[in-house]
Amino acid sequence: MKSTLLIILLSQCYITSAAENSTAVLIKFLSTVNQNLAALYNREVLANWQLEIKGPNDLYALLQSELASEETMRYIQSLAPKSAKFKRLNIGNPELQRELAQIPETGYEALSPTDLKLMYIVTTNMGDIYKNTKLCSFYDRRQCNLTLIPAVQNILHNSVNVSEIEHYWLEWRRKTGMAAKEDFAVFVELYRKTSILNGFQKPSEFWFKDLEEDSSQATTLLEKSMQRLKPLFQQFHAHVRGQLRRLYGEDLIARGKPFPQNFAEIFIGNAFRRADPEWFIEFPYPDVSMPNITAGLLRRGLTNAQRVFWNVAEYFRSLGMPQIEDTFWSENARPKANLDEESIRCWHKAWKYYGIKRVNFSYCPLVDEERFFNMFEALTDVYYYRAYEHQPTLYAEEPFPNFSDAVGKMFSLAASSPRYLEKLKFVDTGMISKELRINRLYWQGLRSIFLLPVFYVLDRYRVDVLDGSLNISDNCAYWKLTSDLTGAEPPVSRSNEDFDAPAKLLVEVDDQYTSQIMSTVLQYQLYKHFCEITGQYKPSDPDYPLDLCDLSNQRQIGPLVMQAMSYGSSKSYKDILHIMTNESAINMDGLLAYFHPLYEWLVEQNRIDGVEIGWEPTTKCSSENKEK
Ligand SMILES: *[C@@H]1O[C@H](CO)[C@@H](O)[C@H](O)[C@H]1NC(C)=O
Ligand SMILES: *[C@@H]1O[C@H](CO)[C@@H](O)[C@H](O)[C@H]1NC(C)=O
Ligand SMILES: *[C@@H]1O[C@H](CO)[C@@H](O)[C@H](O)[C@H]1NC(C)=O
Ligand SMILES: *[C@@H]1O[C@H](CO)[C@@H](O)[C@H](O)[C@H]1NC(C)=O
Ligand SMILES: *[C@@H]1O[C@H](CO)[C@@H](O)[C@H](O)[C@H]1NC(C)=O
Ligand SMILES: *[C@@H]1O[C@H](CO)[C@@H](O)[C@H](O)[C@H]1NC(C)=O
Ligand SMILES: *[C@@H]1O[C@H](CO)[C@@H](O)[C@H](O)[C@H]1NC(C)=O
Ligand SMILES: CC(=O)N[C@H]1CO[C@H](CO)[C@@H](O)[C@@H]1O
């Protein structure tokens, strides 16, 4: 009896000390991982930085970048068995377990060499189809050498001829859809395998892994968001459809139906470019023009990127953020190379390093409105990287992809407030009117309200296909999803003989949009909160609407944001959100409050115009073979 007890005691003792020792082993493992990853990541960052400032012809940097990323992948693969073992044994306290969980997944590399090769082939194929497909010109059908990007894209930017736009819409799908269907099916199979090999129960769990939500939570969050967006979206949709009908007639834009998708693609696309969206739809008040920020910048003497940088740095200082040292620009900033080829891709960018206190900065020398607001985002990143630079490599990240975008875009949104622009003298005093505000909200709405359902469909379709609840041969199911949610339908009859879904997805098959939806919603949620606590937004005071909220000089914001950013990914996004806003869930309140004046305007205007709200399901896709 006694001896049995002794054995039990001894064995317990042995187990305890083994557990404690394994904690020490885990700590040591993590510390090595942090060090090694920092070295590997830094090599990659440095090479990419060289490419940014010297251009893609720097072959040495190109090679370094490739080698470094291969080596990183090999290293991550080598970690997999060990970290799986630590996870299985449930070693360490929750903090250590969280750090362990931040070790990157092997992803596709978990596939067998044959499958991995196949994955590479099908994804390359799909990308190539997109890149190499040549369409025939609308005006000269014998000229068949137009690439999608940039040739067709440029044509579409500038076209007002509906038949021309429809021609390319159809050709694009005809040439890319069926060509990619088989590859897409193989991709789906391999993705399912990958998710199992990475230890996930369902492909959708793997899909949503970076969001720290299980797939049903993520799905619910998204569905709820779309539901809350619906009243605003329907009013907006009704107004846009009414405008399209005025321009193109009742034949093309039928009453009570979704509008043809080729229109949507173009006016949404145009809203993102310098081009005016008026080409396809008018602003609510066409006579009230938007302030010319570029002219304002030049008038104020902000004639180069360096001056803009310091001007924006001063904005952040006025929020109580740490002052950027005088030497920052001369020591860390370099212009981006290769401007000439595509100025659209010219942006300011902060570059973080791991395990060393250093942030490099590449800038776009252009001075204009877009680059001005982009500076707020790039500087947010500088602050973000510095805020968490003390974190171990595994935590030196944002809590979910595009989280930092939400913070940066929140600041650029605040800076685009007419009240702040008035302070900067970019807008003349007295110019802020109801009409200006509605125009601005309408234009912003085209870039966000109209896009959220589109993003949602792109992810929802793929998740349903991956989980097997949607068959890729069911093209009409894709159109049902698209028309129900986005209010757009194909311009011509489609059937299950067609394959339309991947037209947009070919380039980055597994690029996901959910994090972008969350990021957009979060941007407005943060904005609303910061405006509320500083008294710049008062829900029931018409003098303090959210869309005019100016945060400059609100010194309590900076420390709050810096603190939240300092955690990197050591806490979940919900904890970090809670630190900033006292709320732990993402919600649509901010976005809806922001666009509330537009919503009211739309309801009234739609009533006056007598346009119908909502749409019937599309009848443009039928599972029967169509006669051709
Ligand atoms: C396409 O072909 C036309 C004539 O068929 C030619 O004028 C044009 O330069 C070609 N464009 C490109 C990008 O090759
Ligand atoms: C579009 O262009 C074609 C070919 O030039 C022409 O026949 C048609 O009338 C144009 N359509 C519109 C709406 O301008
Ligand atoms: C805004 O101002 C800039 C600089 O003066 C000018 O080049 C540009 O054409 C203006 N844009 C518009 C839309 O008026
Ligand atoms: C950017 O960072 C790297 C790595 O720390 C450094 O060697 C380089 O000098 C930096 N570039 C500039 C322009 O300071
Ligand atoms: C979201 O994050 C991904 C990866 O970090 C990035 O490639 C993408 O540009 C981001 N999207 C936006 C809208 O910022
Ligand atoms: C998908 O649909 C096709 C065509 O209707 C059918 O042959 C196939 O078996 C279906 N696949 C699944 C997984 O249901
Ligand atoms: C945070 O939220 C809780 C519960 O919703 C509330 O009781 C508390 O007063 C809030 N704190 C602040 C600082 O707003
Ligand atoms: C018994 C023993 O050596 N325990 C050690 C195991 O590891 C932890 C964590 O480092 C140490 O604190 C214990 O002393």
Q: Which residues line ligand 2 (CB under 6 A)?
A: 161-164
Residues 172, 132 within the same domain: yes
Q: Which ligand places an atom closest to the C-alpha of 289?
A: 3
Q: Could you tell me the distance, in angstroms and rounded to a whole number, from the CA of residue 91 to the centre of ligand 8?
A: 13
How confident is the model over 541-578, as pLDDT tens digits? 999 999 999 999 999 999 999 999 999 999 999 999 99
pTM of the predicted protein model: 0.91
471 lines ligand 6 (CB under 6 A): yes
604 belongs to a structural domain:
no
What's the pLDDT score for residue 433? 94
421 contacts 296 by C-beta, under 8 angstroms: yes
Residues 70, 126 within the same domain: no
Residues 141, 62 within the same domain: no
Average pLDDT over residues 412-422: 96
Residues 99, 136 within the same domain: no
Mutate to test the pocket of ligand 3, among 276, 294, 302 (most ligand atoms within 8 A of CB): 294
Residues 158, 118 within the same domain: yes
CA 590, CA 113: separation in Å to the nearest integer?
47
Q: Could you tell me the distance, in angstroms and rounded to a whole number, from the CA of residue 369 to the centre of ligand 3?
A: 10
Q: Is the pLDDT of residue 252 over 60?
A: yes
Identify residue 40 by its one-letter amino acid code: L
How confident is the model over 111-160, as pLDDT tens digits? 999 999 999 999 889 888 888 889 999 999 999 999 887 788 778 777 77
Q: Is the pLDDT of residue 179 over 90?
A: no
Task: Tell me which DSSP letter residue 284 carries.
Answer: S
Mutate to test the pocket of ligand 3, among 292, 343, 443 (most ligand atoms within 8 A of CB): 292
Phi and psi at 147, nearest 5°, equal -80, 155
Q: Is the pLDDT of residue 255 over 60?
A: yes
Domain of residue 45 covers 20-104
Average pLDDT over residues 317-338: 95
294 lines ligand 3 (CB under 6 A): yes
What's the pLDDT score for residue 12? 44
Q: What's the structural domain count of the chain?
A: 2
Name the pLDDT band for 279 (thresholds 50, 70, 90): low
How confident is the model over 579-599, as pLDDT tens digits? 999 999 999 999 999 999 999
263 belongs to a structural domain:
no
> Percent of the chain having pLDDT more than 70?
91
CA 294, CA 282: separation in Å to the nearest integer?
22
What's the pLDDT score for residue 76? 94
Query: Which helix or strand (DSSP H or E) is residue 447 part of?
Result: helix 434-448
Name the pLDDT band for 10 (thresholds 50, 70, 90): very low
Residues 71, 95 within the same domain: yes
Residues 115, 195 within the same domain: yes
43 belongs to a structural domain:
yes
Average pLDDT over residues 273-291: 73
What's the pLDDT score for residue 20? 57
Q: Is the pLDDT of residue 259 over 70?
A: yes
CA 100, CA 163: separation in Å to the nearest integer?
56
Name the pLDDT band for 5 (thresholds 50, 70, 90): very low
Average pLDDT over residues 392-398: 96
Mutate to test the pocket of ligand 4, among 360, 361, 362, 389 (most ligand atoms within 8 A of CB): 360
Q: Which ligand places an atom closest to the C-alpha of 292?
A: 3
Average pLDDT over residues 290-304: 93
How confident is the model over 356-386, as pLDDT tens digits? 999 999 999 999 999 999 999 999 999 999 9
Minimum mean pLDDT range among 283-297, 406-420, 509-523: 509-523
473 lines ligand 6 (CB under 6 A): yes
Helices (H), 449-551: 451-467, 475-486, 514-533
What's the pLDDT score for residue 283? 86
> Percent of the chain having pLDDT more than 90?
69
What's the pLDDT score for residue 481? 95
Q: Could you tell me the distance, in angstroms and rounded to a whole number, from the CA of residue 9 to the centre of ligand 8?
A: 19
Minimum mean pLDDT range among 113-122, 273-282, 407-416, 524-533: 273-282
184 belongs to a structural domain:
yes
pLDDT higher at 507 or 562: 562
Which string of b and e fits 288-327 if b means at least 16 CB within 10 Å?
beebebbebbeeeebeebeebbbbbbebbeebbbeebeee
Q: Could you tell me the distance, in angstroms and rounded to a whole number, from the CA of residue 146 to the centre of ligand 1?
A: 8
CA 622, CA 297: separation in Å to the nearest integer?
54
The atom number, within ligand 8, closest to the CA of 17 reads 1
Q: Could you tell me the distance, in angstroms and rounded to a whole number, from the CA of residue 326 to the centre of ligand 5?
A: 30
Integer Rg of the chain from CA: 26
Domain boundary among 40, 75, 104: 104
Q: Could you tell me the distance, in angstroms and rounded to a whole number, from the CA of residue 25 to the centre of ligand 8?
A: 9
Q: Is the pLDDT of residue 82 over 80?
A: yes
Give the distance from CA 218 to its chain's centroid. 16
Q: Whats the size of the chain, residue-wise? A: 628
Residues 94, 133 within the same domain: no
Helices (H), 215-254: 215-248
Q: Which ligand places an atom closest to the C-alpha of 154?
A: 1
Q: Could you tell me the distance, in angstroms and rounded to a whole number, from the CA of residue 263 to the centre of ligand 1?
A: 27
Identify residue 172 by its one-letter amino acid code: W
CA 169, CA 152: separation in Å to the nearest integer?
10
Q: Could you tell me the distance, in angstroms and rounded to a whole number, from the CA of residue 396 to the centre of ligand 4?
A: 19
Q: Please give the full DSSP string across 107-137, using - where no structure is assigned.
A: GGGGS-HHHHHHHHHHHHHHHHHHHH-EE--
623 lines ligand 6 (CB under 6 A): no
73 belongs to a structural domain:
yes
The CA-atom distances, in angstroms, between 420 and each of 120, 413, 417, 424, 586 are: 49, 10, 5, 6, 27
135 belongs to a structural domain:
yes
The atom number, within ligand 2, closest to the CA of 162 reads 13
What's the pLDDT score for residue 144? 92
Domain boundary among 85, 104, 123: 104
CA 144, CA 25: separation in Å to the nearest integer?
63
Q: Is the pLDDT of residue 63 over 80?
A: yes
Domain boundary among 172, 199, 226: 199
Q: Could you tell me the distance, in angstroms and rounded to a whole number, from the CA of residue 79 to the centre of ligand 8?
A: 23
Q: What value does the mean pLDDT of the chain take? A: 89
How confident is the model over 337-354, as pLDDT tens digits? 876 555 557 899 999 999
276 lines ligand 3 (CB under 6 A): no
Q: Could you tell me the distance, in angstroms and rounded to a whole number, from the CA of residue 135 to the centre of ligand 1?
A: 12
142 belongs to a structural domain:
yes
Mutate to test the pocket of ligand 8, among 14, 20, 26, 93 (most ligand atoms within 8 A of CB): 20
Residues 193, 155 within the same domain: yes
Cα dihedral: 348, 103, 73, 193 (round 10): -110
Residues 67, 124 within the same domain: no
How confident is the model over 155-177, as pLDDT tens digits? 877 777 888 889 988 988 888 88
Short-list 441, 402, 396, 398, CA closest to 418: 441
Residues 140, 192 within the same domain: yes
Residues 139, 178 within the same domain: yes
Q: Is the pLDDT of residue 11 over 60?
A: no
How confident is the model over 428-439, as pLDDT tens digits? 888 899 999 999
Q: Which residues line ligand 8 (CB under 6 A)?
A: 17, 20-21, 23-24, 27
The atom number, within ligand 2, closest to the CA of 248 reads 13
93 belongs to a structural domain:
yes
How confident is the model over 199-245, as pLDDT tens digits? 899 999 999 988 888 889 999 999 999 999 999 999 999 999 999 89
Name the pLDDT band for 507 (thresholds 50, 70, 90): low
